Amino acid sequence: MAAFKLKPLFSLTSVSKNFFRTVAACPATDISQLKPWSEVPGPSSLPFIGQMHHFFPKGEFYELIEKPSELFTKMLDRYGTIVKMKGNFGMADGVLLFDPEASAQVLRSENWFPVRPGFESLDYYRKHKKENKGTNGLLTDQGEAWKQFRSTVNPPLLQPKTIRLYSAVLDEVAQDMVTRMKSLRDADNRIQGKFDMEMNVWSLESIGVVALGRRLNCFNRVLPPDSPEMKLIQLVHDIFKMANELDFKPSLWRYYSTRKFRKAMKMYKEQEDTARYFVDKTIEELQKQGGKKSDDEKGVLEKLLEINKDVAVIMASDMLFAGVDTTSNTITATLYLLALNQEKQDKLREELSSQQEKRPYLKACLKESLRMMPVVAGNARTIDKEYNILGYHVPKGTQVSFLHQCMSMMEEYYPRPKEYLPERWIVPKDDPLYHGNAHPFAYMPFGFGVRSCIGRRIAELELESFLARLIQNFKVEWDGPPVNVTSASLNYIVGPFNFIFKDV
């Protein structure tokens, strides 16, 4: 979220206030001077199954499979700042990087078409199964096709004046969700039912306003189970979990059609068809309204429809795919951290009560939660050339994962890293807590460069609108043991959710 000034790409020596370091990574020119790929530290590997035995019952990492922070910390402690992960069942070899300077050098030296791995099963569906082939979207396209699509959708999705059009309606969604939460409380001020699903409902209603150009009416308690709205709620919830099984864990679907693969193909089609259904409804309503809007009055969907309907449908599908679980988990993490730090919550409520136009502490609270409890462990690239990374030869085609989640919790970059301190994002430059003293690549919740998150401004507006309304209406408390976080394609906060929402 923070805007950082990047150091020059051509710098051969990195110098900062906190450290001096020779080049940590760069394209390899003479691999004979490097330690070979075979010597990159990492868990031992066996034929065929690779390193999987370490994650089997009684393996050293088995108990940490669904505890990402502890797993990565143990790997960092055991192997150091670069860790080799052997690929299997069609997955590429990879390395985990815990060094921000090495991460910076790799990311800054990538070409105009950086390859971001992931969601291969969705890519397969769009290239081989979907009816209208040719437009595959930002989540799955690579190379020139990705560049053309990104260039096409950038103007509607990145123009601040377009995003500001949604301020009022997203605030309306936030207020409606607060009303719903009040009605769901029991005598002890706890939310009845599944809290995580409630946050997904809010998130879907919010992103639907942008992606589908309409309120989806997700808060309606009498929606029929087979309604398009309920179908979409369930699909968005299930698809990420299915993609995690197929794309981020060893799976045989790359060799033959497994049962989960066939189920995923069906789910992807249902989601695309449902998105198209809602887009068609919005088109009908726009036609009935008649009249011409100025360009400044047109929302994201209207501008995408002017380009191409298929582009609009695919972009809507991608926003629904990537924009629901991410924001719902982020708001849950922020509420949890504010519940544990009542003085910070009181300070935020005081800022909101002042009715001032700018709300820096609100933004700082969200930034700090993304530092401590990010929704993803980091960023990744499939490198298109050989690299010298920390003195090791890393071959072309390797998947490099940049573990910002661990880096942003290191004392050398963020003083008192385990404390929730939104102040670090707003204090003056001469304060020891000042975030600008950290390496800029230690914290990167929205990615980097041309492949950074295209929905960042939308996500920030959704989160700020909802968090403000929640804190204005509720004193949020936590009554129970520390929250549980499980690792899938995202870091999911799982129950029990011991929140208490008292009226202010």
Q: Domains in the chain, please, with CATH? A: 120-372+476-503 (1.10.630.10)
Percent of all residues in the chain with a pLDDT value above 90, rounded to a whole number: 69
pLDDT (0 to 100) of residue 39: 96
Q: Which stretches within 290-407 are classed as H helix?
A: 300-307, 309-323, 325-340, 342-353, 360-372, 404-407
How many Å apart are CA 401 and CA 162, to the nearest integer? 33
Confidence at 368, pLDDT banded by 50, 70, 90:
very high
pLDDT > 70 fraction of the chain, expressed in percent and rounded:
94
Q: What is the mean pLDDT of residues 9-24?
A: 37
Give residue 131's identity as a one-letter amino acid code. E
pLDDT at 480 over 80: yes
User: Would the annotation count 453 as a binding residue?
Assistant: yes
> pTM of the prediction?
0.91
Q: Which of 38, 24, 97 is closest to 389 using CA atoms?
A: 24
CA 79 – CA 43 distance, rounded (Å):
8
Token pair listed for 302: 């209207």
Mean pLDDT of the chain: 90
- Max Cα separation, the chain? 70
User: Which pLDDT score is estimated for 13?
Assistant: 31
Written as one string, the DSSP assignment of 384-452 is SS-EEETTEEE-TT-EEEE-HHHHTT-TTTSSSTTS--GGGGTS-TTSTT-GGGS-TTS--TT--GGGS
Q: Say yes or no to pLDDT of 230 above 60.
A: yes
